[in-house]
């Protein structure tokens, strides 16, 4: 049974589902970023500084390691940003969920009121039929 809130309820549900998909997609981005960070950590761990030899070779390896560390720091910054965005998306999801629940409540109350009206109307019709039958029996 459709009510005046049914179309609004559908719109709210679609918005809620859309927001949920955004959160899931964002979680996937976060997971990918964490995997990328893990990859860089293993790369940094594999870089070994030479124990002996040319100073230029040592400096080149140190430069590579510093570049990897700088990139790792950037990745952590991006991960932090992604987590902040996820938190904002989750807050928006909570707001949308509250709005959806409000509409759902109003829709259910409207349906209950309609059912109550239908039951009253049905009861009146039954009473009228019973009254008519009673009068018919009295006349016969």
Cβ–Cβ under 8 Å, residues 47 and 61: yes
Establish if 130 belongs to a structural domain.
Answer: no
**What's the total number of domains in the chain?**
1
Assigned domain for 69 exists = yes
Does residue 49 lie in a domain region?
yes
> What confidence tens digit (pLDDT) does each residue in 15-50 have?
999 999 999 999 999 999 999 999 989 988 888 877
Residue 117 located in a structural domain: no
pTM for this predicted structure: 0.75
- More confident position, 43 or 1: 43
- Among 22, 27, 37, which residue's Cα sits nearest to residue 82? 27
* CA dist., res. 99 & res. 77, Å (int): 33
Q: Which tokens belong to 84?
A: 């902040």
In a domain, 101, yes or no: yes
59: containing domain: 6-107
Residue-wise pLDDT tens digits, 53-103? 788 888 888 898 899 899 999 999 999 999 999 999 999 999 999 999 999
The answer to whether residue 133 sits within a structural domain is no
Predicted pLDDT of residue 81: 97
């Amino acid at each position: 049974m459709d009510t005046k809130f049914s179309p609004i309820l559908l719109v709210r549900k679609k918005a809620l589902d859309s927001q949920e998909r955004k959160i899931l997609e964002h979680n996937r981005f976060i997971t990918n970023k964490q995997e990328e960070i893990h990859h860089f950590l293993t790369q940094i761990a594999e870089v070994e500084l030479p124990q002996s030899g040319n100073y230029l070779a040592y400096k080149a390896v140190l430069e590579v390691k510093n570049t990897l560390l700088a990139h790792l720091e950037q990745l952590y910054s991006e991960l932090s940003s992604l987590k902040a965005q996820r938190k904002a998306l989750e807050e928006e999801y909570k707001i949308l969920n509250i709005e959806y629940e409000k509409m759902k409540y109003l829709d259910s109350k409207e349906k209950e009121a309609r059912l109550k009206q239908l039951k009253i109307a049905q009861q009146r019709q039954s009473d009228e039929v019973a009254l008519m039958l009673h009068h018919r029996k009295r006349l016969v």
